Structure 1
């Protein structure tokens, strides 16, 4: 039964990291998304969080994607007087997305995803060997 638990725990990790990667991908896709009207706010970076809870049926702690909050850091201003979103002074607010940070976060999420996938694969092999021993 403990092997089955490890499968479910790793699967919850896969699902959580998948959600994290979707949020990061959205941030990267909107890294240049400015406001549609002058003086409006551009895209605001989203920050995924995780939460764990005890799964009574499984009898173990599992993780899931928690609340997705907005990064409240300040927007950068760039002087672009011809831009449709430029204010009266000619400045455009740019999203608070740093693609280097997002790329690093994506790399970390991918590694965590792969680690959970490796646990599932190892567990699957152990279960298969157990079945083979019992058969033979």
Structure 2
């Protein structure tokens, strides 16, 4: 889940100034929608995960900038720029990166514990 979030944040940052997409109009910030996903019951404990329900476009207003020389300027000389706030994206990037690292650390710790349990069982 965090890997997808990192990918979307990277895409948002890369397209922060894209005023024309193949679909037409400026790029809109993309955000994932997650839901809790019940994986299994193990020894009376429920193990939950996360699944992606959708990737949606943020519907906050686009930025309007006066630049009559821009090729995508409207009749009044204004250009619609993506609704990407670089400060928010950088904060989200750091948060997602740390969560991803924490998940990897937890996974590796669990893997080592399982290996140790298997080696105890073999002796």
Report whether the alignment pairs 1:108 with 2:95. Answer: yes
The answer to which structure, 1 or 2, has the higher relative contact order (CA under 8 A, 6+ apart) is 1
Once residues 127 and 53 of structure 1 are traced to their aligned partners in structure 2, the CA distance between those partners, rounded to angstroms, is 23
**How many equivalent residue pairs?**
118
Q: Which has the higher helix share?
A: 1
Once residues 48 and 7 of structure 2 are traced to their aligned partners in structure 1, the CA distance between those partners, rounded to angstroms, is 23
Q: How does 1:1-136 map to 2 (within 5 A)?
A: 16-35=1-20, 41-56=25-40, 60-136=47-123
Deviation at 1:57, TM superposition (A): 8.0
User: TM-score, normalised to structure 2's length?
Assistant: 0.84
User: TM-score, normalised to structure 1's length?
Assistant: 0.77
Structure 1: unaligned runs, 5 residues or longer: 1-15
RMSD after superposition: 1.9
Q: Which runs of 4+ in 1 moved over 3 A?
A: 56-59
Q: Which has the higher strand share?
A: 2
Once residues 130 and 88 of structure 1 are traced to their aligned partners in structure 2, the CA distance between those partners, rounded to angstroms, is 70
